[in-house]
Structure 1
């Protein structure tokens, strides 16, 4: 059984990294801008707020907005959780049926700036976003620039493993998932906390499968029995590794091999892929059984992510600046671990 401190991937997909640096010296070193993929339509009973937050938890900001607007927290929605130790921008929606716009310009919320408000006919739904754009600054850089540039070019061309980042496991979520499944929690968790625990359990198993595929050199190619996912979607199908067109599309990152998000239902992989995923699942039998008992459905997640529009620049002798986009559910920290060792 894996301990909570061992959730991370072991090796690097593109080999040893060419150096190290320090991230998040200040919140401004880690900037995130949400891309929902759609805009408010200008009318309706929902008020969308474009919010910039600094060193604030997304859930806490949602609670602050509910208090300021005088509504129940259930009337505040957002698409995704954003990093706390960062400067991030994202939409929140307030459900205000039959009400006029509150005086949001007068609100004084710690670490929060509301840039604009627009009406919409629908609320923002959790998980419904296209992705995020990142602007990162890495300081105290200690790396050969030629080797680092070569690594960045490889990441831009070939992507990186789509592992779950450390924030998915924060706050002892994995230990609490095990306690939840064993009936050892002293009190029943809220719906949102239970969701964090279940997600951590699923993420651990996925990361372990991904780590095996990295070690075997198959994280970015189709194996017999694999299920392939179309880039930028959740659509998948049983792959044929002997199909040269599928292999070409995989090399072009139009298709990606997938790993399991464990739950009930048919497991679509077969052959050696099924054997690998079964072996990992058997090593975490308590998590697998717990996830099934809570009625989660089996899903698939791409093992590889495309790093969109990756650009970089060196500012001064020891600072690297990165700009890139990621699809929904992918982590910037998973990109960084393929580029540099990060100093705490």
Structure 2
């Protein structure tokens, strides 16, 4: 049971930067065209002639350009247009609605090859179709190789030479691979919910509470809160290593990523804590044990401990000034890494799309 008299923890949602401070302020997503994302999926061809869909298999795969619609909404609408279940539509990752994004979706349409052209025409009435093929497999989270970003920052205020130097530093060494504050909810509300959960009311996999049907709203909310808890612990450990200046180099006891040594990682906490050993394990436990209200949610969930790189390394980072106060930055990131996290290492960002969202829902 939760102690209702306990004072809620105040969650810090800002973490140390690699340079000891940010070098400028800037506006982000003033208009959707300021934030462009192109999903990288080398397995599928990028074609413009859709009169004949290449490949074979039970899944029709579409590459769509969209703006104003988030990924899950588009997936549901594609299912309705096809007459299949929402579960039968796959995608590699979630993309922001306040952006211009290109990404792939797979729709399970066995035996309907002859109807592909008509289906594509219906989809094209809603979104621009910029690629299509048939495949034998459904797209799943993380199937893509990464994402390419082209981002225009406006109202940039700061010394241009310092900004250029900071960008060059990140190009060479990378940026701390924090989870963004949006994962934790407004003022850390997702963390509050994680801290107040009763582990005894969860099943052995931590996916649902007593009386909840598998796959219901309660299950998805639990997963959200678990994710917030383990992301918070990861961020706190990364923050400590950024402060101490050793976030770029392996420590004694570093387990590496997927059995590959040399990668500097931090823990995605689970039942049993961390897979690190020696010095690194002692550091990670020392920090994680400061948040017992979060650690307790892993005690009965059987959630397997995993690792995540401490460093986000933007590939092919390039930038140029469009105007005195407008900077365009382009780079690619691996799946699960966030462009706003990289930029926040250098800039104090004002997300203008949040004001637009509040106006629409006020």
Deviation at 1:144, TM superposition (A): 0.8
For 1:271, the equivalent position in structure 2 comes to 278
1:155 aligns with 2:160: no
For 1:34, the equivalent position in structure 2 comes to 39
CA gap of 1:338–1:187, structure 2 versus 1, over 3 A, is farther
Please list the CA deviations of residues 20-75 of structure 1 after superposition, one character each: whole Å capped at 9, or x if unmatched. Answer: 11111011111111112422671010000101121222111111111111111011
Q: 2: CA distance between counterparts of 1:266 and 1:186?
A: 25
Contact 2:267 2:275 in 1 (8 A): no
Unaligned runs of 5+ in 2: 1-6, 46-53, 203-208, 352-362
With 129-138 and 217-226 compared, the bigger mean Cα shift is at 217-226
For 2:77, the equivalent position in structure 1 comes to 64
Contact 2:67 2:99 in 1 (8 A): yes
Deviation at 1:333, TM superposition (A): 1.2
Q: 2: CA distance between counterparts of 1:2 and 1:278?
A: 22
For 1:6, the equivalent position in structure 2 comes to 12
Contact 1:181 1:287 in 2 (8 A): no
CA gap of 1:48–1:179, structure 2 versus 1, over 3 A, is farther
Please list the CA deviations of residues 174-214 of structure 1 after superposition, one character each: whole Å capped at 9, or x if unmatched. Answer: 33333444659898535444332221111111001001111
Q: 2: CA distance between counterparts of 1:269 and 1:8?
A: 25
Q: 1: CA distance between counterparts of 2:235 and 2:162?
A: 27
CA gap of 1:190–1:265, structure 2 versus 1, over 3 A, is same
Q: Secondary structure at the match of 1:103?
A: helix
For 1:22, the equivalent position in structure 2 comes to 27
Question: RMSD of the alignment, in Å?
Answer: 2.5
Contact 1:314 1:320 in 2 (8 A): yes
Contact 1:21 1:138 in 2 (8 A): yes
Contact 1:137 1:319 in 2 (8 A): yes
Which residue, 122, 128, 141 being the options, matches 1:113?
Answer: 128
For 1:252, the equivalent position in structure 2 comes to none
For 2:102, the equivalent position in structure 1 comes to 89
Deviation at 1:236, TM superposition (A): 3.4
Q: 2: CA distance between counterparts of 1:128 and 1:262?
A: 23
For 2:349, the equivalent position in structure 1 comes to 342
Deviation at 1:134, TM superposition (A): 0.4
Contact 1:4 1:175 in 2 (8 A): no
For 1:201, the equivalent position in structure 2 comes to 229
Contact 1:23 1:342 in 2 (8 A): yes
Q: Secondary structure at the match of 2:37?
A: strand
Matches within 5 A, 1:280-295: 280-295=287-302
For 1:138, the equivalent position in structure 2 comes to 153
Deviation at 1:130, TM superposition (A): 1.1
Q: Secondary structure at the match of 2:293?
A: helix
With 186-195 and 57-66 compared, the bigger mean Cα shift is at 186-195
For 2:143, the equivalent position in structure 1 comes to 128
Contact 2:312 2:342 in 1 (8 A): no
Q: What is the TM-score normalised by the length of structure 2?
A: 0.81
Contact 2:65 2:101 in 1 (8 A): yes
Alignment length (residue pairs):
321
Q: 1: CA distance between counterparts of 2:259 and 2:146?
A: 17
Contact 1:45 1:95 in 2 (8 A): yes
Q: What is the TM-score normalised by the length of structure 1?
A: 0.85
Q: Secondary structure at the match of 1:6?
A: coil
